[in-house]
Structure 1
């Protein structure tokens, strides 16, 4: 399996932090030198490791925002 290349273009924010220092972050990331997308996943303290996450286009992120705004929390 080939290595996955990624470049964090912009950090939008940290959603949460675990006691071990891992953070769940919303970033804009370019995967394998492709067009950057929004990405939500767990990261080790120095971004040396990552957990599973979800990658969304701008349109998908807007739709998710709209769905969340419709929820009663």
Structure 2
């Protein structure tokens, strides 16, 4: 397995922590020889193990911030749940 070189320069915040102690965090992380970018992923206590995550440039995270500020997230999630329930109902009706 290839060695992944990274340096975490700043932990900006913790989003959640699972039962195994892995913390999903927003960090400024440099991967390889590249400049730091914003990174969201889960890390263990000593930052030696990580999960898959997403890395964003400054422009991308600023756009994400704009989107999050402009959307009613609770409403969007509720609408998505309703659409899923309707799709499952339709699927059940057509398979009978």
TM range (shorter): over 0.9
Using CA pairs below 8 Å that are at least 6 residues apart, which structure has the higher relative contact order?
1
- Where 1:34 maps in the other structure, the secondary structure is coil
Alignment size in residue pairs: 73
Structure 1, gaps ≥5 residues long: none
Moved segments of 4+, more than 3 Å: none
Greater percentage in helix: 2
**Which residues of 2 match residues 53-72 of structure 1 at below 5 A?**
53-72=53-72
| CA displacement at 1:2 relative to structure 2 | 3.2
With structure 1 as the length reference, what TM-score do the two structures score?
0.93
Structure number with bigger Rg? 2
Give the number of the structure whose residues are more often strand, by fraction. 1
